[in-house]
A and B are shown apart, each in its own frame.
Chain A
Amino acid sequence: MEDMIFYDRLQFAFTITFHYIFPQLTMGLSLIIVYYKWRFLKTNIEKYNNAAKFFMKIFAVNFTMGVVTGIPMEFQFGTNWAKFSELTGGIIGQTLAMEGLFSFFLESSFLALFIFGEKLMGQKLHFLTGFLIFLGSWASGYLILATNAWMQHPVGYEILDNGKFVLENFSKLFSNPWLLPAFLHNQLASLVTSSFVVASIGAFYILRNKSIEYGKLFLKTGVIFGLVSSLLLAFPTGDWNAKNVAKYQPATFAAMEGIFETEEAGAEIVLIGQPDMIHKRLDNKIAVPNILSFLTYQDWNKQIPGMDQFKEEELPDNIPALYYSYHIMVGLGTIFIAIMALAVFFLWKKKLYTLKPLLWAIMFLVPFPYIANITGWYTAELGRQPYLVYGLLKTSEGVSPTVSSGNTLFTLLGFVALYMLLGLLFLVLVGKTIHQGPTSQKH
């Protein structure tokens, strides 16, 4: 049984981590594409139009990968988490099915129109198709976040005698206090990834001394979008989410902040330290007193319950992983603000395009926003443990009763092998598009 839960979780974690490489780029990138297309309509400068079309090619590759790796996500609810599906399908099925109907059809239909139909439609309609793709991908994010928000903080449900959750109030799914902060935070994080990708391709073109005009454009767009989104990511949305965790999941809050013991008065904020699960303390700690209480409650001396206040079975089951995920996310987020602020400063001083060390740094930093996004999601998902539906349904109660651990291990290995091939394909396709450059007419 323990094995079974472990493999089911591992398979879901692996497939969702791989899947989320793609949507996190498409959501943010669609906004940047709409921006370029809008600039083209305003100024009629061909450069902007080429930029929009170039990034739509990269969008298309990511969208395809997102679809292919997304189907296993939906299937796994049934194959590996049958009990969870049976009990909660009446609720989370609503938002997931809405995603299918409202987002995917919108995105897939208009993506083809955008790529093949520019001449047929004229520029205004072409802009409109770009905007609809943006709308579709953000609607998709919204509905997935609505699903997750319900699992983090269940509302609008009723539990029947047979244990099934049924919908009691549809609109409450969307007025869930967890939803809006999480959605905005997630979309901004997606925008940070996209800004880094755009800036990184720009830096690459400048350093390679080819398509320089586009290199400068991409770099400028990337760092400006990047600075704005990484600032908004920390404040107010990051702050807002942390407050929600403190309010609705206090045990999670204590674990992710690494508070083993409740302090008399205000709680310190931990910058660095290693959770020591045997002695129940943080080793090698660097912390600043009272800051956490101030950040969370605007009160220097407010007491924050530590892990000692909760029963063992209410605490997340992997505290170090949760703690590290959260701190990696926060640490990277801070670095992004610093590097983007630096880049914008040199852009303003008109030195950015010749400042090679910074260009190299921007180019090679591109994997890190992906890591920050993924560790952010790990924080949310590990933090919700040991529950699937917070406070109501344990993760161990959600697995398929009929599927043995050996089966899941077998399919997990299969997914690993297949996704390696898929990852290779992805790199070839994106690499080729970048190599051909923004003025290439090939699709």
Chain B
Amino acid sequence: MEIFWYIIISVVFAIFFILDGYNFGTGIIHLFFAKTEKDKEVIAKSAGLFWDFNEVWLVAGGALLFMAFPTFYASVFSGFYLPLIMVLWLIIFRAIGLEFRSQFNFQMWKDIWDKSFGVASLLLALFFGIALGNIVRGVNLGGIENGVATFELHYFFLPLWNSTFSPLSETPGVIDWFTIIIGLISVVTLAIHGANWIILKTNSSINNNLKSVIFKLNILLAALTFISLLVWQIVNPNSLDNFIDKPYLIIFPVIYFLGLLGLFFIKKFKKDIYGFMLSTLVILGGITSSLASLFPVILPSTNNLSEPLTIYNTATSEYGLSVALGWGVIGLILIAIYLIIQKKLFSGKVDKMDYGH
């Protein structure tokens, strides 16, 4: 039952990163590549029309995590207090940017909110990558210092960084050179994803140019992936064990690399949707591979005194999980139906669509 909910919640979060991920990416592309007012408007619109629907997935994922693994929810949310609240602020700020921009027809006004949308998106992509890096690396559970626990062993509190910036330190911070690498991977991946979204949903004048941008970013992504795989072994030496024990898990890294390789052929695609599907594979593969390498651990411990958090020692009662299964399945079927209806209505380019509320 724990495994079932683990999979469901991972899928919900993966969908959030795929959907809101293109919004973050759109913001990044908007920040660096959109030059003319017409492009800026249509690119902001391709994100602005949908952001609140995408956000719902974050709410749902968070609430399901709360229900199924309350100890994990409590530990991680309080442990990463400041970075998480900053993510909240950025989410709000991004929303303000998107909604404010079209309210007054005044160039400087639009520029201000365009920048806030772009910068918030960039930082969000970076922060979510850093978060994933932290989950993979693990934290100082129990706040152990000189062999003495500061908190109960399943709690922790991370400083934003420490003086060494090293993931191998006894008391790592949120930001170190490892989590920065994962953060950069996230930024590059989502930028590619956002560019694909723009190509798919708009007729902006930079669409052709964006294909070569994607190609270049993809080279960067391949290089970063290569580096991260090397340092991953240093930070978490057991990360390959699961793949050796259960060879079928190899499917997840395969998904990632299929997407990565496919994106090199971006200029040859006849249909715009292919690029978007490939970057979706990269995100999906990246998240699932990281989680699969940890399973059943969901938060490793960097000291020897505290047990890592797993899906088993953080889950609620068996009864609670199975009751939730009943309504959970009904809920997910309903959501699938809504999505199909919505897709039918909102397919096609957004250029002509009326903007906002």
Contacts and interface: CB of A to CB of B under 8 A. Distances in A.
B143 A90 contact: no
A82 B78 contact: yes
A442 B89 CA distance: 30
A422 B97 CA distance: 10
A45 interface: no
Interface string B262-273: 000000000000
A109 B335 CA distance: 9
A79 B323 CA distance: 26
Interface string A405-443: 001001100100010011001001100110000000011
B320 A90 contact: yes
B99 A425 contact: yes
B219 to A, nearest CB: 36
A409 to B, nearest CB: 12
Interface in B94-109: 95-96, 99-100, 103
B63 interface: yes
Nearest to A171: B323
A88 B156 CA distance: 20
Contact of B74 (A71, A82, A98, A110): A82
Interface in B327-357: 327-328, 331-332, 334-335, 338-339, 341-342, 345-346, 353-357
Given A74-B62, A105-B60, A109-B338, A96 B316 contact: no
Given A82-B75, A401-B155, A89 B67 contact: yes
Given A101-B60, A105-B334, A68 B91 contact: yes
Contacts of A400: 74, 78, 81
Nearest to A66: B52
B357 A61 contact: yes
A86 B59 contact: no
Interface in A69-117: 69-72, 74-75, 77-80, 82-83, 85-91, 93-94, 96-102, 104-106, 108-110, 112-113, 115-117
Interface residues of B, number: 66
A94 B77 contact: no
Given A108-B53, A403-B157, A421-B96, A93 B68 contact: yes
Interface in B56-103: 56, 58-60, 62-64, 66-71, 73-79, 81-82, 84-85, 88-89, 91-93, 95-96, 99-100, 103
A75 B316 contact: no
A57 interface: yes
A112 B53 contact: yes
B16 to A, nearest CB: 12
- The binding surface of chain A is classed by DSSP as helix
Contacts of B103: 428-429, 432
A443 B356 contact: yes
Contact of B324 (A68, A74, A97): A97
Contacts of B327: 98, 101-102
Given A79-B77, A116-B345, A429-B357, A85 B66 contact: yes
A443 B355 contact: yes
A108 B58 CA distance: 13
A168 B52 CA distance: 35
B111 interface: no
A70 B77 contact: no
Interface string A302-341: 0000000000000000000000000000000000000000
A71 B91 contact: yes
B20 to A, nearest CB: 12
A120 interface: yes
A74 B59 contact: yes
B53 A97 contact: no
Interface string A159-186: 0000010111010000000000000000
A425 B104 CA distance: 12
Contacts of A342: none
A94 B68 CA distance: 8
Contacts of A366: none
A99 to B, nearest CB: 7
B22 to A, nearest CB: 17
A83 B357 contact: no
B151 interface: yes
Given A64-B52, A422-B96, 8 more contacts: A57-B357, A89-B66, A93-B63, A94-B324, A98-B331, A105-B334, A402-B81, A411-B81
Interface of B: 52-53, 55-56, 58-60, 62-64, 66-71, 73-79, 81-82, 84-85, 88-89, 91-93, 95-96, 99-100, 103, 143, 151-152, 155-157, 316-317, 319-320, 323-324, 327-328, 331-332, 334-335, 338-339, 341-342, 345-346, 353-357
Question: 6 tightest A-B contacts by CB?
Answer: A89-B70, A78-B77, A93-B67, A90-B316, A101-B331, A82-B78
Interface of A: 57, 60-61, 63-64, 67-72, 74-75, 77-80, 82-83, 85-91, 93-94, 96-102, 104-106, 108-110, 112-113, 115-117, 120, 164, 166-168, 170, 400-403, 407, 410-411, 414, 418, 421-422, 425, 428-429, 432-433, 442-443
